[in-house]
Structure 1
């Protein structure tokens, strides 16, 4: 692809996003001159960039939009909702055109056909509503569906069609799903596209047990027949009823919207992100090499060459400082503000709330907080689930809020803050809240928990059941939520990033989700222990102290063991048993115990040997191992061996 086209698409997306923010700001405050000037500059710059290429239709549309903004700057026309809707329609149309331009270097035929009507609306020569052309609402046909129809042979794209966008879950094979076999069940299949979701990797990095496919297809059958084929995996597919080509363009979506604006991720900074990633990799290798100097010094000491041992340790200390400085600088280069993901929500909330007929205010705070690029880019999907749940089930309609003596407009707050080496993101609404009694009843009906367990559990514990797969308290399924996959997906996504999700809710007052994530995948202080002849790493931050415990001090308490430490009873667990390793018999001597801090208080973990401490770069698990409970990640020791880093909170749960 032409480098100029790639650069144009990247800059155009930034200008589109800036124009969107300015227009939404103008909608809430039409007198805000700064936003008007900024919107004009964005459209003007975008028009200038388009003029470098043969995109005549887009140039004409942007020229008309620029003219309207120029008149608004001169106070010749009033900035109102109608003007904002028209301009947002143009911005949305440009944004939907960019994927096709990036792939082919030209404006697609479908986008070309929409240009005259947009120009007509902007010039006041047509009376059609904006939504009849390219409205920001979900009634618009996404660019992927239009592109799919264009790719199909003319003989296969006649009449009404069903556009299918099927993105199998990466772990679908383990669920017994066969994506291609499922697709063969679709009636009257006319056209098929199968592509990789991610860039092709080398054979060494390819995981054959994960599904990497994105499947798009056209069917001449009925929408109900296609829905029946995918009834067991509705969260993985989007179905759109496409009218005949001579009919109007609006279509009815069925499933979760997943247009290009949702799927798009930033892949570059001002420097190609792959170069930054390579530097992080090199820094990680330096950490491993640096750790290898310590055992080397030990060998020199054993051979009686103390002078050499001291020199090696001195060099180790100097290299340690340099590596820490290098790694800190490289990770800082990967940091981007949360604004990159937060800025996508104002327009989404506006469109969805309008569609649901709910009036609300979105408040965003802390968007300047920075985190690793990989973490920020993977935050949009879980936040999208939480925002949709708040809009669909949390915030009440205006009439209901007034009956409850609440403000007519709901409030949805998206807040980020930094706490030490973590970021905390809160999604909170002032809606109806989650009723624990309803969750309890639903969980019993679905067999998630027994009636005895449900009765014995507190309301706070019962609320956590909403994260269980398939559990939803929604009375009906909508295309936004209600299928019981959203919160489960949120927890899974956040856990993969090394974070956690906390839920608090009060009936009638609202619901708050708190996401706690690391700022970056940074160096970690580990305590290395031995059990069953193997070494494992435990984050030093979880260890309060180490303790030598006589075997005679261990007391049996019900089915477990405990001991007394400074007048406090501490439960005792054996790491060998937690890891389900073969029993080595009852210990005869003193026990080596790690006193650890957990959510439930202090516990003691008995190990066979405490080796040493090490500063390493820990990476989360990926591929087949990413769902293994109790393993937080892996790292390399100085001798090249792989060390599993344990998640003790998960192990003792």
Structure 2
């Protein structure tokens, strides 16, 4: 991929998301000047980026969208749904077009046709707005511009007087920017004021390479000339056209100035592949570190205790350093869930309009952080759950009123951190699920017999919705079908190392709860031998180990079991589960791992328990991807590849 195109795609997606967030915020708070300015800057910057490529239709559409927002900033048009709807359509079209631009370098034919439709939509909107322009009041201007207007009245010339607030980026010098030189290039400059964003630091804290200036100026130059001067830094500048005396509004409402750059988080964009490479190197260090333990044991067995102790001491120190390195790298991969959650407001808005349902989406806990891979892979399963709630959970307004519910439905998307896990809830206050309806659907689809279905407790009956192909609806919706695909959602969450639960009350709503690890961390494994091969099992899955004589194991029907503390424990053989030849002699004592599967404890017999190891497990890829019962692979200290098993999946 061309490096310039790649950079454009990254920045375009960020600008599209920012504009979308600001427009959605303006829909509920039309008077919020900060969101209006931010939306304008995002579309203005996006238009400038598009100009670098041969994307004339997109540039024209963004130019018209920018004109509409410019009129809204000037107060000549109102900020309402008739303005926001076409602008959101433009944002959605740009978002959909980015992938084609990355792949081909230009817009597809279908996207070109959409550009013509959007141009017509924006042009008609501008025409309608212009016809009512005389009746619309002028907008309030920010305090800083009002202060400049009081001190420097607009000139008597026919040109416009512009108030300028320029807040250079703290690291602007490293970008080759000279703020004072930039200001000196402004035409017809009448006034310049310099101030600091924050109190002047002490001599010890002073950094001559950071810019802390705030520059305010007044000029009689035309707005187009000023925009040309600041074309490369539009996000650092606010330009306000001061009203002439005969246009001065009766009162100037106060408005907060744009967010200062000093308050923004300073970040450095790093290719995710570089972070992944560091994770890989940390994993290799873990493997190399594990090789020191058998080396120390070998030295001890040869009678060289001093050497063994020195190797053991080095092993402990390297183990500490590797753990610190790995924790630091995994922290670098942590991103807020906001990156996924922020995609839902626009989706819910558009879908609710199509379905004719009035509802509110409430998002909580979007600042909770998790590993980048987990956050990126959460969107699809969450999308399915949210669409289910929209399509088949939330009732129509008339039905809700008959049930004495609020006219507007509600979907809650909430995240919180619990220890080393994140918990995400998707809750709707819709019609909920009826366990009896689920039982009947399961019988009709041949998943259960009538007798088994009737014997199921309500909590277990609800879990039938996770069975492959299960659905309580006879018609397939264009959006979703309550129950259809929930097995795929559950598989996706399990691949991320998490679980998915559901609770539902008929008439009150449904809650899906996702529990996932915050990051993919190093795993403590127990290495076992079966059929002459070694396998790893996460110690977190093992409750305890037991060594039993053969006489303690009793046949029960077609299986076997043993008694552990007055409790009957079923016994399975790992060799049979893996379908590998058994090497353990029939009269040999049983070496058993006791594991928890659901609410049951189950014993798993192995040939031998070898050792414990701390490793970084890699997920399966290629031909092995999706193999049942195998969670991933890792390397032992001697360089051998070890398959890491998922016992719960194997037993099921």
Which digits, 9 at most, give the CA deviation of each residue in 1:388-436, with x for residues without a partner? 1111111111111111111111111111222222222221111111222
Larger mean Cα displacement after TM superposition, 553-562 or 31-40: 553-562
Kindly tell me: are residues 104 and 126 of structure 1, through their superposed partners in 2, closer, same or farther at Cα, counting changes over 3 Å?
farther
Query: Which residue number in structure 2 is paired with residue 280 of structure 1?
Result: 279
TM-score by length of 1: 0.73
* CA distances 1:224-246 after superposition (whole Å, capped 9, x unpaired): xxxxxxxxxxxxxxxxxxxxxxx
Change (3 A) 1:426 1:284: same
SS at match of 1:124: helix
* Distance in 2 between residues matched to 1:285 and 1:455, nearest whole Å: 53
In structure 2, the residue matched to 1:82 is 82
Q: CA deviation at 1:553?
A: 4.1
CA positional deviation for 1:61: 3.6
Deviation, structure 1 residue 583: 4.9
- 1:540 lines up with 2:543 in the alignment: no
Aligned mates of 1:473, 1:386 — CA distance in 2: 16
Contact 2:426–2:512, Cα closer than 8 Å, also in 1:
yes
Is the CA contact 2:370–2:518 (under 8 Å) kept in the aligned structure 1? yes
- 2:518 maps to 519
Task: Show the counterpart of 1:400.
Answer: 399
Query: Could you tell me which residue of structure 2 aligns to residue 258 of structure 1?
Result: none
- Do 2:532 and 2:583's aligned partners in 1 also have CA atoms closer than 8 Å? no
Secondary structure of the corresponding residue to residue 613 of structure 2: strand
In structure 1, C-alpha distance between the alignment counterparts of 2:406 and 2:474, rounded to whole Å: 25
Match of 2:120 among 117, 121, 140: 117
Aligned to 2:17: 17
Bigger shift: residues 95-104 or 451-460: 95-104
Question: Residue 509 of structure 2 aligns with which residue?
Answer: 510
Structure 2 SS opposite 1:39: helix
Which secondary structure state, in structure 1, belongs to the residue aligned with residue 448 of structure 2?
A: coil
Q: Does the aligned pair in 1 maintain the 2:577–2:650 contact within 8 Å?
A: yes
What is the CA–CA distance in structure 1 between the aligned matches of 2:314 and 2:2, rounded to whole Å?
A: 49
- In structure 1, C-alpha distance between the alignment counterparts of 2:565 and 2:413, rounded to whole Å: 44
Residue 473 of structure 2 is aligned to residue 474 of structure 1: yes
Q: Are 1:58 and 1:115, in contact at CA under 8 Å, matched by a contact in 2?
A: no
CA deviation after TM superposition for structure 1 residue 514, in Å: 1.6
Shift of 1:44: 2.9
Instruction: Name structure 1 gaps, 5 residues minimum.
Output: 128-267
Any unmatched runs of 5+ in structure 2? 131-266
Q: What is the CA–CA distance in structure 2 between the aligned matches of 1:269 and 1:625, rounded to whole Å?
A: 36
Partner of 2:7: 7
Paired residue secondary structure (2:463): helix
Give the greater-gyration-radius structure (CA): 2
Give distance in 1, aligned partners of 2:631 and 2:268: 29
Map 1:198-209 → 2, pairs under 5 A = none
Corresponding residue pairs, total: 513
Q: Secondary structure at the match of 2:625?
A: helix
Following the alignment from structure 1 to structure 2, what is the Cα–Cα distance between the partners of residues 642 and 629? 18
Q: Would the aligned equivalents of 1:120 and 1:126 in 2 still touch at CA under 8 Å?
A: no
Deviation at 1:368, TM superposition (A): 1.5
Give the C-alpha shift of residue 585 in structure 1. 7.0
Cα distance change of structure 1 residues 584 and 12 upon mapping to structure 2, 3 Å threshold: closer
Q: Is the 8 A contact 2:542 2:593 kept in 1?
A: yes
Cα distance change on mapping 1:558 and 1:5 into 2, 3 Å: closer
| Residue deviations 1:286-310 (CA, integer Å, cap 9, x gap) | 2112112222222222222222222
Counterparts of 1:105 and 1:532, CA distance in 2 = 55
Task: Tell me, yes or no, if the aligned pair for 1:433 and 1:508 is still in contact at 8 Å.
Answer: yes
Cross-structure match for 2:462: 463
User: Is this contact kept in 2: 1:538–1:645, CA < 8 A?
Assistant: yes
Alpha-carbon distance between aligned partners in 2 of 1:92 and 1:68, rounded to the nearest angstrom:
17
CA positional deviation for 1:558: 5.5
Alpha-carbon separation, structure 1, partners of 2:544 and 2:466: 34
SS at match of 1:504: strand
CA distance in 2, matches of 1:343, 1:528: 43
CA distance in 1, matches of 2:644, 2:97: 46
Name the SS of the counterpart of 1:627 in structure 2: coil
CA apart distance, 1:568: 4.6
Deviation at 1:547, TM superposition (A): 3.2
Deviation at 1:324, TM superposition (A): 1.4
State the partner residue of 1:96. 96
Residues 46, 560 of structure 1: alpha-carbon distance in 2 compared, 3 angstrom cutoff: same
Give 1:368-447 correspondences, 5 Å limit: 368-447=367-446
Asked if the contact 2:90–2:118 (Cα under 8 Å) also holds between the matched residues in 1, the reply is no
Q: Which residue of 1 aligns with 2:349?
A: 350
> What's the counterpart of residue 47 of structure 2?
47
User: Does the C-alpha gap of structure 1 residues 125 and 56 become closer, same or farther in structure 2, counting only changes over 3 Å?
Assistant: farther
Deviations 1:594-638 (A, max 9, x none): 333342144433333221110001122233433333222221111
CA contact (8 A) 1:477 1:483 kept: no
Q: How big is the shift at 1:59?
A: 4.0
Residues 1:568 and 1:467: Cα distance change in structure 2 (over 3 Å): closer
Task: Normalising by structure 2, report the TM-score.
Answer: 0.73
Q: Distance in 2 between matches of 1:52 and 1:125?
A: 32
Distance 2:300 2:548 in 1: 31
- Secondary structure in 2 matching 1:606: strand
Q: Aligned partners of 1:623, 1:302: CA distance in 2, in Å?
A: 42
- How many angstroms apart in 1 are the aligned matches of 2:448 and 2:626? 22
Partner of 1:192: none
Partner of 1:251: none
